[in-house]
């Protein structure tokens, strides 16, 4: 499909092909799993505050539902396209399977710059998008969640729009909602906390400590900011952080508390809380842990040789190309692949969904303990697989996830 032929989708398929070849996956299954099960492209006419109508394009892609309802975020970003959404849906399938969650992967998005819309325009866009994808979503079919450019308020509008359509409140149709309408404690910080838990396990494996470790984080949105905060609380020295406009550096460690207190609309480099640094310079810093927590394909063949971290913990989806992977392996950098490192978000989304279905809610301690158990168990399984099969951590994670999905397909059979 020509619409899917984007760099991000090509990366996802290339990773899949490499893993499928290594595991000798049935050729029939291989062809099926390369393409999404279902894709929807929608036009979203929205009345702007000045009275004119602007038409946006939205997407919802379900990659696989062999193991249960599909699950995945909704991204608001100008560069959203069908290929990117399909790639993210595929990665979600492997991520859920690797963590042992009863989900398939999905993803959605709208090609829009959300910060350029007023709150009223953003609400109208969100409600129209939710109404257009209404036939695909539901607590037993497909459960959206926040992603780049979306948050708990966006999820609240989506939940309300769906509920208005069916005539009663359905909290379980989305996750990442406010607590007042069925959200879960610990959901907002879940991806960042998961990054910290897995990174801590790798440091222990390498006989290193998080206390005193130097950490550089590319991206200071939801994932990056919570990763920075929690690592700082555990004694790590956060030497650099960045946003889309650039970032800050201090070898002594940045004042993360002050950074989190600043006006979030202010670019990081304008806060004067450290020395100005570019995103490219951040990736090349000498540090114990590098966390790419921005967008895809940030680490490529052009800059991978310049990385000087000991551990690469992928907070973002698809931040490293296949060519860069080979270079990092030659350099001896321990890569924690995205489908493992950033799986904390979907794990706690699963907890939220379960709580909504049961109408029974857990404490923050329960959430953190269960997240820790699931994500560290997934890491230990992946590490064992990597060591036993002599493959990279990325291939180990992908092969483990793909195998779970393949088994589900083989056991269910082919209809009709």
Tokens of 340: 């493992």
Q: Is residue 239 located within the same domain as residue 294?
A: yes
Residues 209, 137, single domain; the answer is: no
133 and 210, same structural domain? no
Contact 223, 189 (CB under 8 A): no
Residue 362, domain member (yes or no): no
136, 169, 202: which is the final residue of a domain?
169
Task: Please enumerate in sequence order all residues whose Cβ is within 8 A of that of 36, keeping only pairs 6 or more positions apart, or say none.
Answer: 61, 62, 63, 64, 86, 89, 90
**156: its two tokens:** 């609240």
Domain with residue 146: its CATH number is 3.40.50.10860
Q: Confirm whether 107 is a catalytic residue.
A: yes
Q: Give the list of residues 6+ apart from residue 261 with CB closer than 8 angstroms, or none.
A: none
Residue owning tokens 């069908």? 82
In 3D space, the residue among 66, 3, 68 whose CA is nearest the CA of residue 37 turns out to be: 66
Using CA atoms, how far apart are residues 227 and 268, in angstroms rounded to an integer?
Answer: 16
Phi and psi (nearest 5°) for 106? -145, 170
Are both 274 and 331 inside the same structural domain?
yes
Dmax (CA) for the chain in angstroms is 63
Residue 349 in domain: no
Up-side HSE of residue 118: CA atoms within 13 Å toward CB? 7
239 vs 66, 229, 252, CA distance in Å? 43, 13, 7
Sheet architecture: strand order including 246-249: 275-277, 246-249, 237-243, 214-218, 286-292, 308-313, 334-336
Residue 410 and residue 282: Cα distance in Å, rounded? 45
Rounded distance, CA 109 to CA 111, Å? Answer: 7
pLDDT at residue number 295: 84
State residue 2's pLDDT score: 66
| Neighbour-count burial for 281-301, b at 16+ CB within 10 Å, e otherwise | bbbbbebbbbbbbbbbebbee
Alpha helices in 206-244 (DSSP H): 222-233
Is 304 among the domain residues?
yes
- Out of 34, 71, 95, 107, the active site residue is 107
For 307, the enclosing helix (H) or strand (E) is none
Distance, in Å, from the CA atom of 271 to the CA atom of 263, rounded to the nearest integer, reads 9
**CATH for 307:** 3.40.50.720
Q: Going by DSSP bridges, is the β-strand pair 308-313/286-292 parallel, antiparallel, or unpaired? A: parallel
The three-state secondary structure class of 55 is: strand
pTM (2 d.p.): 0.96
Tell me the β-bridge partners of 309.
287
* pLDDT, tens digit, 9 for 90 and up, residues 382-405: 999 999 999 999 999 999 999 999
> Looking at 277, 305, 336, which one is the last position of a domain?
336
Please give the residue range of the domain that contains residue 162: 2-10+35-169
Nearest-angstrom CA–CA distance, 99 and 154: 26
Query: Does a structural domain hold residue 141?
Result: yes
CB neighbours (10 Å) of residue 397? 32
Same domain (yes/no): 154, 209: no
Task: Give a yes or no: residue 350 inside a domain.
Answer: no
Question: What share of the chain has pLDDT > 70, as a percent?
Answer: 100
Residue 347 phi, psi (nearest 5) = -65, -45
Site of tokens 């090349």: 284
Beta bridge partners of 56: 44
| 10-residue averages of pLDDT along the chain (416 residues) | 86 96 95 96 98 98 98 97 97 98 98 97 98 98 96 98 98 98 97 98 97 96 96 97 93 95 86 92 97 93 97 96 96 98 98 98 98 98 97 97 97 93
Token reading at 228: 């920075």
**Domain end marker among 135, 169, 203:** 169
Q: Angle 393-412/364-389 helices, nearest 10 degrees?
A: 100
For residue 403, being part of any structural domain is answered with no
Is 61 among the domain residues? Answer: yes
Q: Are residues 214 and 297 in the same domain?
A: yes
Give yes or no: residues 218 and 301 share one domain. Answer: yes
Distance of CA 108 to the CA centre of its chain: 12
**Cα(100)–Cα(302) distance, rounded to whole angstroms?**
35
Q: Are residues 203 and 286 in the same domain?
A: yes
Residue 336 confidence (pLDDT) = 98
- Domains in the chain, number: 2
Residues 291 and 152 in one domain: no
Judge whether 311 and 206 are in contact, CB under 8 Å: yes
Structure-token match 């991806």, residue found: 191
241 and 105, same structural domain? no
| Closest among 364, 192, 182, 210 to 287, alpha carbons compared | 210
Cα-flanking dihedrals φ and ψ of residue 332, to 5°? 80, 20
Residues 164 and 199 both lie in one domain? no
Quote the CA–CA distance of 399 and 389 in Å, as a whole number. 10
State residue 3's pLDDT score. 82
Q: Is the domain of 127 the same as that of 271?
A: no
Planar angle of CA 282, 95, 190, nearest 5 degrees: 60
Does some domain include residue 370? no
- Strand runs labelled E in 104-177: 104-111, 142-146
């Amino acid at each position: 499909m020509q619409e899917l032929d984007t760099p991000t989708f090509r990366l996802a398929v290339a990773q899949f092909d490499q893993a499928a070849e290594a595991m000798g996956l049935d050729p029939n299954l291989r062809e099926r799993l390369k393409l999404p099960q279902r894709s929807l492209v929608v036009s979203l006419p929205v009345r702007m505050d000045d009275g004119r109508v602007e038409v946006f394009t939205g997407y919802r892609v379900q990659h696989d539902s062999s193991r249960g309802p599909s699950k995945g975020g909704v991204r608001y970003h100008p560069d959203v396209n069908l290929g990117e959404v399909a790639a993210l849906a595929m990665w979600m399938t492997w991520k859920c399977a690797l963590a042992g969650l009863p989900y398939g992967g999905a993803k959605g998005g709208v090609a829009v710059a959300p910060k350029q819309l007023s709150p009223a325009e953003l609400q109208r866009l969100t409600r129209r998008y939710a109404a257009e994808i209404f036939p695909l979503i539901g607590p037993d079919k497909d459960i959206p969640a926040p992603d780049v450019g979306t948050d708990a308020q966006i999820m609240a509008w989506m939940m309300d729009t769906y509920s208005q359509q069916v005539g009663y409140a359905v909290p379980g149709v989305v996750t990442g909602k406010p607590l007042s309408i069925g959200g879960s404690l610990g959901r907002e910080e879940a991806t960042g906390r998961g990054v910290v838990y897995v990174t801590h396990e790798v440091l222990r494996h390498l006989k290193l400590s998080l206390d005193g470790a130097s950490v550089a984080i590319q991206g200071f949105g939801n994932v990056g900011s919570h990763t920075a905060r929690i690592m700082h609380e555990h004694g790590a020295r956060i030497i650099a952080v960045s946003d889309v406009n650039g970032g800050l550096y201090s070898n002594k460690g940045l004042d993360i508390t002050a950074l989190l207190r600043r006006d979030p609309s202010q670019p990081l480099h304008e806060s004067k809380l450290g020395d100005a640094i570019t995103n490219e310079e951040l990736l090349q810093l000498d540090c114990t842990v590098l966390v790419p927590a921005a967008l895809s394909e940030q680490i490529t063949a052009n800059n991978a040789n310049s990385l000087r971290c000991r551990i690469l913990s992928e907070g973002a989806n698809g931040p490293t190309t296949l060519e860069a992977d080979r270079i990092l392996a030659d350099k001896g950098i321990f890569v924690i692949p995205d489908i493992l490192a950033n799986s904390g978000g979907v794990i706690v989304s699963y907890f939220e969904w379960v709580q909504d279905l049961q109408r029974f809610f857990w404490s923050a301690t329960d959430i953190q303990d269960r997240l820790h158990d699931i994500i560290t168990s997934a890491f230990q399984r992946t590490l064992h697989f990597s060591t036993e099969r002599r493959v990279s951590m990325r291939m180990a994670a992908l092969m483990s996830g793909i195998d779970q999905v393949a088994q589900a397909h083989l056991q269910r059979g082919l209809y009709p």
